[in-house]
Structure 1
Amino acid sequence: MAETASRAPRILVVGPSWVGDMVMAQSLFMTLKQRHPGATLGVVAPGWSLPILERMPEVDEAIALDVKHGEFGWRTRRDLARQLKGRFDHAIVLPRSLKSSLVPFLAGIPRRTGFTGEQRYWLINDRRRLDKGVLDQTVKRFVALGLDAQTAAHGDFPLPHPQLRVDAERQASLRETLALGARPAIGMMPGAEYGPAKQWPLAYFRELAETLISQGYTVWILGGPKDVEAGETIVEGLEHARNLCGKTRLADAVDLLAACDQVVTNDSGLMHVAAAVGTRIQALYGSSSPAYTPPLSDDAHIHYLALSCSPCFQRTCPLGHHDCLRQLTPSLVLRAMQ
């Protein structure tokens, strides 16, 4: 269906399944709204990500697709497609899997844009070849799908930084409800969903926390239920340190990270959230590469040793020593913070 001057396009984006990727997808949403003023933008995404999408003014409608990890979910996808039939002119599919392209196809959306992958030739009719040398960052790949093929092929285009809306009232309420006190706060995010090869040693987080507390700060440990034990290891016996892992929702983390003076974080989803609310970041990279998934912020300090064995992109260190993170000492991070 051709886009006409009489009606702004109705665009559906099939979003990614990770917190960090969903935040970076806002760069695409911003690009679409800039290029198509008046466009309606809907985003299909896992239910957990809706609180993040609600903080993006570019998103007109967030549509939950709750399928368990690893599950095909044919019936769920088919039912959602029926609900969306006739509502959109153009779909952009960010994941490269076959199943992610099913909803736009079954909904009969006329133009369906995505990278070639997983033998989905008949599901995507505006197919793009992924040149990993040109589109060398996740955010570039997302934004490229919102551009015409010729512009995207050069890889030289603006990448607007995500900007999540902060709820000041909710932020103040959280400080009171969680009894967080008035000291300036440093956020620490010790988790990384991908695996331990991306996680700075907990003993280093604790050592840094002790020093910062002695300098007048309070330390907030943020993460999900899986990070509770790690948080306890860091804060045990420390005054002015709070383990908030598992005690806050994703939307709460947005507001709490915005209240921090700085954050110290592994390459994780919450790192990208912190970048999107403008907080200064100390980003710790081990098995992953800051060239591929950097924090999209002008106020980030990257800690990356670029050892001969890194980046390996493995979940666990294949050599068993984790030197890429162990050699990043707390004193190095503290120096950058100050």
Structure 2
Amino acid sequence: MERLDPRRHRRPGRRAHRAAPPARPALARARPAGAALLSLAVDAGYLGDNGLTLPWMPVEFAVLLVLVVRSVRHLTARQSWTVGALTTGAALLLPLRFALRQPEPLDASVAGLVLSVAPVAVALGGALYLRGQDDRRARAVRDARREQRLAVARDLHDYVAHELTGILLEVQAAQVSGYDPDENARLLARLEAAGQRALASMDHTLDALRAEDAAPRRHTLAELPGLLDHFPDRPALHRPDDLPALPPVVEDAAYRVALEALTNIRRHAPAADRITLALAHCPDAGLTVTVTDSGPAHPRARPGGGTGLSALRTRIADLGGELTAGPHGTGWRVAATLPT
């Protein structure tokens, strides 16, 4: 017996149902345009008794004003020009229906035109204002979502990827080293600690996504020594004793510069025997963060504009600072200047 493929044997109703939504924009355009065209046609060819239609004129005029607002506010720019012009024209020419049947003095005609122009102008102005408000809200939502995605990407790269890089390097080093029970026990302890830190970073990122008003994750310069504990030979840390209090955003950016530079050293120059992290502050220039390494014994190509450094350079520039990265002697140098 032939098996029925659900993808080939669908009910027609489901396909028709899925195809129905695209018709809604066309229907939204057709309703106000059709009403406006009907009103214009009646204006041009009406020959009936004004006394029968005069009581309904305010109702029709109000409906046309509502259509003006809806078409200008909700349709696309191109569609709103067409449909809005039709509905606006219908509203402005509504008094023509009575002038063609029973011509009135010039003063009365001008008064009727003014009475129709003023509400239409208010409706158009209100519709344009509401459209602008809608566009600003939509833009704010898009910007907020984009900033949230960038924040998540930064956290994943700066913290989770940092810990995973350390785990990978530890495992690779263990594969080429001899078996030592004590060293293996210390290795497993380091791997466990790195895994716990990675999970904690993931939990923090997920909590930030769930919370509506979560505060951005900030690090301080006091946490820099913890970054140096991941190296067998602890790098040198030079920090002035008279370093003043700095804005939290500056300290967080400096921490991320050090984190990115040290992670790249572990990834690309694990054999570096001399690593230096230096901080300097000048009232005019601001805070300078410099990370240098002596490089591997056999130099090899190293990326100068990786994803992490590129994103970090953009972030530093947004703060008014500058980040540079390039060869330095036999090694590499990353330097960032942050205004304070």
**TM-score computed with the length of structure 2 as normaliser:** 0.20
Greater share of strand residues, 1 or 2? 1
Greater share of helix residues, 1 or 2? 2
Larger Rg: 2
Q: Relative CO higher for 1 or 2, CA cutoff 8 Å, sep ≥ 6?
A: 1
